[in-house]
Amino acid sequence: MSVEDEASGIICAPPFRHSTIQLAHGGGGRAMRELVDSVFLPAFAGGVPAPRHDSAVLPAAHGRLAFTSDAFVVRPLFFPGGDIGALAVNGTVNDLAMAGALPEYLSASFVLEEGLELATLERVVRSMADAARAAGVTIVTGDTKVVDRGHGDGIFIATSGVGRIEDGVDIAPSKIRPGDAIVVSGDVGRHGVAVLSVREGLGFENALDSDCAELGSLVRALFRAGVVPHCLRDLTRGGLAASLCELALDGGFDFRIDARKVPISAAVQRACEPIGLDPLYAACAGRCILFVPDDELGAALGALAAAGAEPAPIGVVEGVARTRPGRVELETALGASRLLELFYGEQLPRVC
């Protein structure tokens, strides 16, 4: 049941408290935000809220560096259009790219379960090597640990990445401005549905491949066209809706999104409807949203299209929500509107 905040008029679910870790704590929703705010930030940031961004931006002797860390626990290890190895490389490269960095080096650590077939590990490692070459990065260090049979689910991979940010590039949620156009780089929901299809053996009529891909090439194409977005965010856990909600809450902005302009493939729509999934909340693995000044929208769309993407403008930043938290208003296909909420957990856990 939902409750309404009298001061803000925002409808939200009542808070849940647990004494143990739940799957929802890794889902990219409100549960994970609560975990970060209550456990990690007080310990690691001295209680001072850190800006929520895909990478940390650090000063260096020459310019600035972006640094990011991630872990991948997807089940199953292989899915249509990708696998845990390609996902680990692309996911880390994409986090760097979302800070405007040119990815350079990665680390990769493996937690392997006793009894894992060596051929499976070799297949994953080859996939990582191929993805790294395609993204123009080098895997330079790592680690390996083995856990008892039944305690590791095959393979877990932890990665970190470093990239260099060029002068004049300053991409962050704090740079979003009223009037910015909101653009998505391609159709949404493919990755979550692809993982679901093999995990649950649903056998959809039309096989769907994950959108697993690196996004660094799109960011470089924007820079070559003279476009520096105000903000970038890749659409992983929680999909398009969760990413928009996070940015609206953290920045205090109101976003207006036109559902009719959000690209969702017919195959994803058909797969989601019978089982009650909302494709707006389905994870992507090779899509991002961009916030660009309205007068640069045409140049941004042209650069993305030339780089092989199928971008779509889906909304606008309306302004700063001064008396309440920022929110995302969705105009539906029927002309009505509703608020998008940040789910407590995730529709489908362990997709990355």
Q: What are phi and psi of 202, to 5 degrees?
A: -80, -25
Outline which parts of the chain fall under CATH 3.90.650.10. Answer: 173-340
Per-residue pLDDT tens digits for 144-197: 999 999 998 999 999 999 999 999 999 999 999 999 999 999 999 999 999 988
Outline which parts of the chain fall under CATH 3.30.1330.10. Answer: 54-169
pLDDT the model gives residue 110? 98
pTM score: 0.88
List the CATH code of the domain at 54-169.
3.30.1330.10
DSSP string, 150-173: TSS-SEEEEEEEEEEEPTT----G
For domain 173-340, the CATH class is alpha beta
Nearest CA among 41, 137, 50 for reference residue 86: 137
Q: Which two tokens stand for residue 268?
A: 């994803």
Omega cis (within 30) before 76: yes
Nearest CA among 70, 75, 66, 164 for reference residue 109: 70
Per-residue pLDDT tens digits for 93-116: 999 999 999 999 999 999 999 999
Residues in Cβ contact with 61 at an 8 Å cutoff, skipping those fewer than 6 apart:
none
pLDDT the model gives residue 5? 46
Q: Which two tokens stand for residue 191?
A: 């990755």
Q: Which two tokens stand for residue 87?
A: 């996902």
Per-residue pLDDT tens digits for 254-282: 999 999 999 999 999 998 988 889 999 99
Please give the torsion angle defined by the CA atoms of residues 227, 330, 320 and 187, in that order, rounded to the nearest 10 degrees.
-20
Per-residue pLDDT tens digits for 48-89: 455 677 788 888 877 899 999 999 999 999 999 999 999 999
pLDDT the model gives residue 10? 41
What is the rounded CA–CA span in Å between residue 251 and residue 28?
17
pLDDT the model gives residue 339? 95
